[in-house]
Structure 1
Amino acid sequence: MTTKQPTQQPTLIESLHAATWAPVLTPEQMARVEADCYEVFVPKGGFVCHKGEVVDHWVGIVSGMVKMNNFSPNGKSVTFTGVPQGSWFGEGSLLKNELRKYDAMALRDSRIARMPADTFNWLLETSLPFTRFLLMQLNERLGQFIGMVENERLLDVDTRVARCLAGLFNTQLYPGTEHLVQISQEEVGLLSGASRQRANQALQVLEKQGLLRLDYGGIRILDLDGLRNFEAHT
């Protein structure tokens, strides 16, 4: 019997160099990024950042997964999106110099990279390619949230779960996603606005369609285009 070996996690420096924006930086710019960025550990259920706080860092996921969400006055939670390993978020609030509009919580134990606002703004001032990257990032983010509003209002749960999983493969926003997505059925429910039980039913429907396979440690995507185009028959 073989023992499943734990996946080796990247160091902070490795994670910075693997970021989609890293290749556009000069050696001088990358050296400052390495010197200024630091890492914090956030346990499952912990806050990566809080709604209403001053936004003084750009945030990256070295390992783990984070969800952006808000709570209503009566305690009801709404989840906007999940942010997997290799992704960065919070650039909009930094650019607008406003207080954070949402909470970010760790869906599992996560290692979080933080780039100080001064470093982020220095890159904006000294790197036109970095500025172009951010324009693409913001455009993709806008398209993502427009799609989420449409999905929430128009689609059934099975289709929402399919689109939720497919959305994790946006190469601009989530460059580190692999075909074995290390995500639990509970996390799928949180990201798609469904209960764990209903998300599990939807995953079984998608598995029967040959679009994915429920594997040990996550969900293996078999047909990404099929997930993107899936529509439940009512």
Structure 2
Amino acid sequence: MPSKAMETMLRESLWAKTLAAEELDRVVRESYEREVPAGGFVMRRGEPADLWLGVIEGLVKMSLSLADGRVSTFTGVTSGGWAGEGSLLKPGPWRYDGVAMRPTRVACVPRHTFERLVSTNLDFDRFLLSHINARLSLFIGLMEFDRLLGPDARVARCLASLFDPILYPQASSFIRLTQDEIGLLSAVSRQRANRALHALERAGLLRVEHGGVEVIDLEGLRSYLGDGSA
């Protein structure tokens, strides 16, 4: 039996609106939940990509670990977000890692369920196109931020990216992220993330609070350039 939290998450997902009631019921029956401890792998590079994964609760860092120990972080997936559709659309293993940054619960939709939806539901396919396009736009933006912007601006754009309505449908003005997590997602140290957050607070764009940050000016975060200093 699916947990109540997983069933609610599945039924409230944006893509669920593309399914008939009977098909959505079938997806719920075929899916299952996993609990992943902080630091555990939700998905692991080289292992078979056989699940579409939705975050019920928690935070997953999508990254690539290199042989020399360096880690390149792509993005984070928060509650209500989905990941892995690109890998399921082609055969092969995961090409990146998904690591739980805190205790995390994920909904697991099996490959055969996902492939059935792709092959029989045009509206579901349209959702996937919009989701993949949003993810591509995010990655292009992150590449731009990393190459052209200073640390303060990278933190600002990283936080702003968590408000995409397709990728992060449950986003609210309060972002529950620790400064360690913000640093990891922005590719800066915790100490540098702390400095950036206080610079953004002085600029009137957010307010640093216990357990996260309250975003005051989302458009300001999206356009913030900072001074570019490290």
| TM-score range relative to shorter protein | over 0.9
The equivalences for 1:65-144 within 5 A come to: 65-144=59-138
Q: Distance in 1 between matches of 2:23 and 2:207?
A: 42
Residue in 2 that maps onto 1:34: 28
Q: Distance in 1 between matches of 2:222 and 2:4?
A: 30
Unaligned 5+ segments in structure 2 are none
Unaligned 5+ segments in structure 1 are 1-8
Partner of 1:96, secondary structure, is coil
Superposed structure 1 runs of 4+ greater than 4 Å apart: none
Partner of 2:14, secondary structure, is coil
Is contact 1:10-1:62 (8 Å) kept? no
1:192 to 186, 196, 205: 186
Partner of 2:42, secondary structure, is strand
The equivalences for 1:25-64 within 5 A come to: 25-64=19-58
1:147-188 deviation per Cα after TM superposition (whole angstroms, max 9, x unaligned): 111111111000000000000001111111111111000001
Deviation at 1:98, TM superposition (A): 2.1
Is contact 2:49-2:88 (8 Å) kept? yes
1:154 to 136, 148, 155: 148
Deviation at 1:196, TM superposition (A): 0.2
Structure-2-length-normalised TM-score: 0.96
Deviation at 1:66, TM superposition (A): 0.3
Partner of 1:21, secondary structure, is helix
Is contact 2:150-2:227 (8 Å) kept? no
Matching residue's letter, 2:166: Q
Partner of 1:115, secondary structure, is strand
1:231 to 221, 225, 228: 225
Q: Distance in 2 between matches of 1:81 and 1:31?
A: 31
Structure-1-length-normalised TM-score: 0.94
Deviation at 1:10, TM superposition (A): 6.8
Q: Distance in 2 between matches of 1:222 and 1:26?
A: 39
Q: Does structure 1 residue 174 correspond to structure 2 residue 168?
A: yes
Q: Distance in 1 between matches of 2:4 and 2:143?
A: 34
1:20-78 deviation per Cα after TM superposition (whole angstroms, max 9, x unaligned): 11111101110111101110101111111100111111000000010001111111111
Q: Distance in 2 between matches of 1:44 and 1:227?
A: 29
Is contact 1:66-1:107 (8 Å) kept? yes
Is contact 1:60-1:88 (8 Å) kept? yes
Residue in 2 that maps onto 1:12: 6
How well do the aligned residues superpose, as a CA RMSD in angstroms? Answer: 1.2
Partner of 1:186, secondary structure, is helix
- Percentage identity across paired residues of the two chains: 47
